[in-house]
C-alpha cells in the first residue's frame, strides 16, 4: 500500500515529470533538444532524492526470492527486500516472466517514497527462449542483417518476459581459443567485430528505445578481458596501448557510437589496474573521448574484487575507487549500498559523482519509457503469444544455416544424395538436444534443440542409422564445477564401427558439449574431448567416406582430421534449430557461405594465432635460414585461416583495380574486383578486402581486414564488387592513443579468405 505521504510526493514527482518530459527518446548519443529535455527531467528528479536513494539507483541486485511467493525472512534476501521497499535498488537482474517482474516493479513503483521504476536486466546473449546460434557462430555468417535480425528476435522475446535491458553484446576481441568465452563474441578481428557490435546493438535497441519490444544493450566487458594471459579465465591482462586502441577498443567504440545504452566492465585488470576501478578506461576514454552518455554497470561483484586484486584494503576503499573511476552501478556486489552514502557524508567521494552516476541510470530509464508506464514490458498476453512464436523459429533457423562453415569438401561427399543411400550417423553429439543450446540459455528449457538426428530424419529417402559410439560427458550444467568427460567407457564403440563399415556415407558429429565453453570454461587442450578422436580413427579404418560435423564453442585444433577426413563442416552450437540447419546444409537445400571469424590452430602451442599478426625482423623471406621466426616442430600457418569457408560452388576472383594510384591523405580510394561463380550451384560469398601498410612509424600487421561484402551469385554469374577506403581504414592508433594516418605505400588484397594472394597497390602522399 502507498502511504498518504508517498502519494503526495508521488504526485509532486508526476507533476515535475509531466511538465518537463516529453519522453520521445531516440537512441542518439549526440546532444539534441530531446537530450536537453531529458537532462532536465533527470535533474528535477535528482533534486528530490536523498543521498541514499541516489546511491540506491547505483545498486543492482540479483533476483532474490520467488517474488510472487511469501516475503523472505532473514539473510540476504530479506535485506534486499527491505532495500527495495526503501527505494535503495536501481535494478534487478535475472528476474523474468511477466508476473515476477510486475510484482518487483510494483514494490518499486507503489511502495517506495519516489516510486522510481526498476530497470530489469538479463543475459539475453543469443536469444531468450528461442535460441539463435552462439554469437561466435553468428559472427561466422558475416551477415550483418541476419545478425541484427537475430538480436531483434531476442529483444522481442525478452521484452515480452518483462526484461528491458540485456547484458549483450559481448564485444571482446580474443585471439586465444583456450578462453571459454570466445563463444560469446565476434571473434578475433576488430573490424568485423565492430560491424557485428553495431548490428547487435541495433537489433536489441531498434530505432526507438521507448517501444515495448526493444531493450537497452550493454557492450561488455570493458575492456581487455579477451586477452587474459594464457587464455585462463579471470587472469591478468597486460597489453600495449597500441594493441588496446587498435584491437580491443574498436568494437566498444562502435557500440558506443551506435547508441548502446550501457557498458559493463570486466573481471580483469588492465596493465595493473582492475578495470572496475579504471578511471583511464571509464572516465577518460568512454565518458571523455567517446562522450558516452549511458551508464557503466560492474560485472558480477567485480567492484568487490578490487579488494582481491590487492588494489583496495576493504569495501570502503573499493567503493571509492570504483565510483570515482566511473563505474556507475554495482552488480550484486553490495559495496555501493553499504559504503557510498557514508563516503559522501565523510567528504571522501564528492556528491557530484553520485549525481552523475544515478543521473545516467535514470536517463536510460526515461529513455526506456519506464516513467510513462513502468509495466509496459509486463503484458500477460504478449508473453504468451510472442515467446516461441513460429516466425522466431524461422528466424533462428535462417541464422543457424548462415552460421555454418564448410571447412573442407575434398571428395565432394557433400551435398548428400537424397535417395538410395545408407547413412550411418555416429557420435555423442549426433542426437543431443541439450548441448546445441550452448551455455547461455537461462530462459530456454533443457533439451529443446532439434538434434542433428531429428533434422536428418526429416529427409526420408535414405536409410539413416544412428549409433552414439561413445558418451562425451554426463549430467553437468553451466554451474557444475567438475566436468566429467568419459575417458573409459568404450562399450558402444564396436557397434558404431560396424554400422559405419557398410554405410555409403558416415556422418560423424563430434566436438565439445555446450557447457564446455562459456564463462569459466578455459581449456588447455583444443582437441576432441574424451574418446571422440579414438572413435573417429576407428571408424576411419573401416570407412573413409566421412563427413565430420563439428559442434564446438571455440576453434579446435584438429590436425589429424584436417589431414585425413575428406569433408568437415563447422556446425558450432546453433541453438534451437540446430538439427534442421545442419540437415539442410548437408543435403544441399542450403549452400553454406560462412567464413571463420577466428583462426583455427594446428595445435595449442601455436596459440595465440591470428591472421593480422605483425611483421617481424625475421619473417618468411628468411625461411631457408635456421634463424627465422618459426617453430622447429610445427608450421607457422594455421589449420584454417580467419575468413576461410567453402561453398558447394566455386568462386573466382579477378581484375583487382585500384582507381588511381597516388592519393593524398583524406582522399577516398575506390577499389574494384570481379567475382565469378564458376561452379555448379548458386551460392553466396563473403568478399573480403585486406590492406597492408608497408612502412609505418610503428610495426604494422601483415594484413588487416578493412572491408567485406556478402554477395549472392547464380551459377555462371559474375559481379564487379566495389570498396571504398577512407582515412578511417588507412590510419591506426599509436601508443599514445592518437589516431594517425601516415603517407606511404599500401598493398590491398581481395579474396575469399585472409590467405588471398590477389593484390593491388596504391600510395598515400
- The beta strand positions in 36-124, using DSSP E, are 59-62, 91-93, 119-122
- 3-class DSSP string for 680-741: CCCEEEEEEEEEEECCCCCCCECCEEEEEEEEEECCCCEEEEEEEECHHHHCEECCCCCEEC
Using only the alpha carbons of the chain, give its radius of gyration.
27
Of the residues 172, 269, 273, 299, which is catalytic? 299
Q: What nine digits make up the cell of 205?
A: 535497441
Binding mask 162-191 for ligand BGC (x = CB under 6 A): -----x------------------------
Cβ closest to ligand BGC, residue 178 vs residue 220: 220
Distance CA 698, CA 685 (A): 34
Residue 300 near ligand BGC by CB under 6 A: yes
Q: What is the DSSP string of 540-587?
A: HHH---EEEEEE-SS----HHHHHH-SEEEE----GGGHHHHHHHHHT
**Which residue shows C-alpha cell 567407457?**
489
- Of the candidates 701, 706, 697, the one whose C-alpha atom is nearest the C-alpha of residue 739 is 697
Binding mask 113-152 for ligand BGC (x = CB under 6 A): ----------x-----------------------------
Q: Do 553 and 572 touch, CB atoms closer than 8 A?
A: yes
Distance CA 691, CA 704 (A): 5
Q: How far is CA 248 from CA 173, 188, 512, in A?
A: 6, 10, 27
Binder of ligand BGC out of 519, 685, 693, 704 (CB under 6 A): 519
Distance CA 265, CA 459 (A): 47
Q: What nine digits make up the cell of 340?
A: 557510498
Distance CA 48, CA 45 (A): 5
Minimum CB separation of residue 296 from ligand BGC in Å reads: 13
Cβ closest to ligand BGC, residue 318 vs residue 687: 318
Which helix (H) or strand (E) segment holds residue 202: the answer is: helix 190-205
Binding mask 450-489 for ligand BGC (x = CB under 6 A): ----------------------------------------
Which of positions 190-229 make contact with ligand BGC (CB under 6 A)?
220
Residues 6+ apart with CB under 8 A from 623: 630
Residue 61 near ligand BGC by CB under 6 A: no
What is the maximal distance between C-alpha atoms in the chain?
A: 87
Minimum CB separation of residue 571 from ligand BGC in Å reads: 25
Distance CA 94, CA 205 (A): 19
- Of the candidates 232, 102, 192, the one whose C-alpha atom is nearest the C-alpha of residue 524 is 232
Residue 96 near ligand BGC by CB under 6 A: no
Minimum CB separation of residue 374 from ligand BGC in Å reads: 23
User: Under DSSP, is residue 600 helix (H, G, I), strand (E, B) or coil?
Assistant: strand
Minimum CB separation of residue 520 from ligand BGC in Å reads: 8
Distance CA 345, CA 50 (A): 12
Judged by CB under 6 A, how many residues of this single chain contact ligand BGC? 6
Residue 540 near ligand BGC by CB under 6 A: no
Minimum CB separation of residue 517 from ligand BGC in Å reads: 14
SS3 content of the chain, % helix, strand, coil (to 5): 35, 20, 45
Q: What nine digits make up the cell of 508?
A: 560423424
Minimum CB separation of residue 395 from ligand BGC in Å reads: 23
Minimum CB separation of residue 477 from ligand BGC in Å reads: 15
39 included as an active-site residue: no
Minimum CB separation of residue 573 from ligand BGC in Å reads: 17
Minimum CB separation of residue 329 from ligand BGC in Å reads: 12
Cβ closest to ligand BGC, residue 221 vs residue 253: 221
Residue 692 near ligand BGC by CB under 6 A: no
Query: Could you tell me whether strands 405-409 and 567-570 are parallel, antiparallel, or unpaired per DSSP bridges?
Result: antiparallel
Which helix (H) or strand (E) segment holds residue 54: the answer is: helix 51-57
Q: What are phi and psi of 564, to 5 degrees?
A: -105, -35
Distance CA 93, CA 62 (A): 5
CA atoms within 13 A on the CB side of 716: 0
Q: Which residues bind ligand BGC (CB under 6 A)?
A: 123, 167, 220, 299-300, 519
Indicate which residues carry an active-site annotation: 299
Amino acid at each position: 500500500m502507498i502511504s498518504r505521504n508517498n502519494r503526495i510526493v508521488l504526485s509532486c514527482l508526476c507533476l515535475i515529470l509531466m511538465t518537463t518530459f516529453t519522453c520521445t527518446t531516440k537512441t542518439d548519443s549526440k546532444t539534441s533538444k530531446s537530450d536537453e529535455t531529458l537532462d532536465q527531467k533527470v535533474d528535477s528528479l535528482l533534486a528530490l532524492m536523498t543521498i541514499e536513494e541516489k546511491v540506491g539507483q547505483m545498486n543492482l541486485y540479483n533476483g532474490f526470492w520467488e517474488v510472487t511467493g511469501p516475503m523472505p525472512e532473514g539473510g540476504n534476501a530479506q535485506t534486499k527486500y527491505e532495500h527495495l521497499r526503501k527505494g535503495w535498488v536501481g535494478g534487478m537482474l535475472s528476474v523474468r516472466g511477466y508476473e515476477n517482474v510486475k510484482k518487483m516493479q510494483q514494490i518499486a513503483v507503489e511502495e517506495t517514497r519516489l516510486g522510481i521504476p526498476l530497470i530489469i536486466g538479463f543475459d539475453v546473449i543469443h536469444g531468450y527462449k528461442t535460441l539463435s546460434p552462439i554469437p561466435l557462430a553468428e559472427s561466422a555468417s558475416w551477415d550483418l542483417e541476419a545478425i541484427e535480425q537475430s538480436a531483434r528476435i531476442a529483444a522481442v522475446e525478452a521484452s515480452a518476459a518483462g526484461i528491458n535491458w540485456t547484458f549483450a553484446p559481448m564485444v571482446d576481441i580474443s585471439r586465444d581459443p583456450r578462453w571459454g568465452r570466445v563463444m560469446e563474441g565476434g571473434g578475433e578481428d576488430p573490424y568485423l567485430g565492430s560491424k557485428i557490435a553495431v548490428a547487435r546493438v541495433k537489433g536489441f535497441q531498434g530505432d526507438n528505445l521507448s517501444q515495448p519490444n526493444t531493450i537497452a544493450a550493454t557492450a561488455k566487458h570493458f575492456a581487455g578481458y579477451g586477452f587474459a594471459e594464457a587464455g585462463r579465465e579471470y587472469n591478468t591482462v597486460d597489453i600495449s596501448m597500441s594493441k588496446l586502441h587498435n584491437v580491443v577498443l574498436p568494437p566498444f567504440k562502435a557500440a558506443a557510437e551506435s547508441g548502446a545504452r550501457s557498458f559493463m566492465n570486466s573481471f580483469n585488470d588492465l596493465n595493473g589496474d582492475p578495470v572496475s576501478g579504471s578511471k583511464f578506461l571509464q572516465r577518460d576514454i568512454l565518458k571523455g573521448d567517446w562522450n558516452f552518455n549511458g551508464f557503466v554497470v560492474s560485472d558480477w561483484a567485480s567492484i568487490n574484487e578490487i579488494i582481491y586484486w590487492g588494489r583496495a584494503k576493504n569495501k570502503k576503499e573499493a567503493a571509492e575507487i570504483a565510483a570515482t573511476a566511473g563505474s556507475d552501478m554495482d552488480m550484486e556486489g553490495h559495496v555501493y549500498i553499504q559504503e557510498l552514502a557514508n563516503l559522501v557524508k565523510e567528504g571522501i567521494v564528492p556528491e557530484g559523482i553520485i549525481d552523475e552516476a544515478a543521473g545516467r541510470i535514470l536517463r536510460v530509464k526515461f529513455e526506456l519509457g519506464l516513467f510513462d508506464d513502468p509495466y509496459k514490458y509486463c503484458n500477460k498476453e504478449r508473453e504468451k503469444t510472442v515467446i516461441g512464436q513460429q516466425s522466431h523459429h524461422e528466424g533462428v533457423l535462417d541464422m543457424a544455416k548462415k552460421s555454418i562453415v564448410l571447412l573442407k569438401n575434398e571428395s565432394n561427399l557433400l551435398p548428400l544424395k537424397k535417395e538410395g543411400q545408407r547413412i550411418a550417423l555416429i557420435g555423442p553429439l549426433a542426437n543431443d538436444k541439450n548441448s546445441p543450446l550452448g551455455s547461455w540459455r537461462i530462459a530456454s528449457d533443457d533439451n529443446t534443440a532439434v538434434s542433428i538426428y531429428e533434422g536428418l530424419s526429416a529427409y526420408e529417402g535414405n536409410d539413416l542409422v544412428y549409433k552414439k559410439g561413445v558418451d562425451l560427458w554426463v549430467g553437468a550444467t553451466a554451474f557444475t564445477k567438475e566436468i566429467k568427460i568419459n575417458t573409459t567407457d568404450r562399450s558402444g564403440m564396436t557397434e558404431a564401427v560396424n554400422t559405419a563399415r557398410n554405410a555409403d556415407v558416415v556422418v560423424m558429429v563430434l566436438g565439445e558439449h555446450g557447457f564446455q565453453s562459456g564463462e569459466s570454461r578455459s581449456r588447455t587442450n583444443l582437441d576432441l574431448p574424451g574418446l571422440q578422436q579414438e572413435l573417429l580413427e576407428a571408424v576411419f579404418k573401416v570407412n573413409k567416406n566421412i563427413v565430420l560435423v563439428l559442434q564446438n564453442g571455440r576453434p579446435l585444433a584438429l590436425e589429424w582430421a584436417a589431414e585425413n577426413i575428406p569433408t568437415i563442416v563447422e556446425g558450432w552450437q546453433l541453438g534451437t534449430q540446430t538439427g534442421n540447419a545442419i540437415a539442410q546444409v548437408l543435403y544441399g537445400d542450403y549452400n553454406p557461405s560462412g567464413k571463420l571469424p577466428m583462426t583455427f590452430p594446428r595445435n595449442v602451442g601455436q596459440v595465440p594465432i591470428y591472421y593480422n599478426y605483425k611483421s617481424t625482423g625475421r619473417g618468411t623471406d628468411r625461411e631457408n635460414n635456421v634463424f627465422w621466426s618459426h617453430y622447429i616442430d610445427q608450421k607457422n600457418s594455421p589449420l584454417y585461416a580467419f575468413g576461410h569457408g567453402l561453398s558447394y560452388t566455386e568462386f573466382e576472383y579477378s581484375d583487382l583495380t585500384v582507381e588511381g594510384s597516388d592519393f593524398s591523405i583524406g582522399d577516398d580510394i575506390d577499389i574494384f574486383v570481379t567475382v565469378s561463380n564458376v561452379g555448379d550451384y548458386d551460392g553466396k560469398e563473403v568478399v573480403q578486402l585486406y590492406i597492408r601498410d608497408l612502412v609505418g612509424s610503428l610495426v604494422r600487421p601483415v594484413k588487416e581486414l578493412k572491408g567485406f561484402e556478402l554477395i549472392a551469385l547464380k551459377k555462371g554469374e559474375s559481379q564487379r564488387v566495389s570498396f571504398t577506403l577512407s582515412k578511417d581504414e588507412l590510419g591506426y592508433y599509436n601508443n599514445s592513443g592518437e589516431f594517425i594516418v601516415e603517407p606511404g605505400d599500401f598493398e590491398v588484397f581481395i579474396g575469399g579468405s585472409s590467405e588471398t594472394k590477389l593484390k593491388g597497390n596504391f600510395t598515400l602522399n
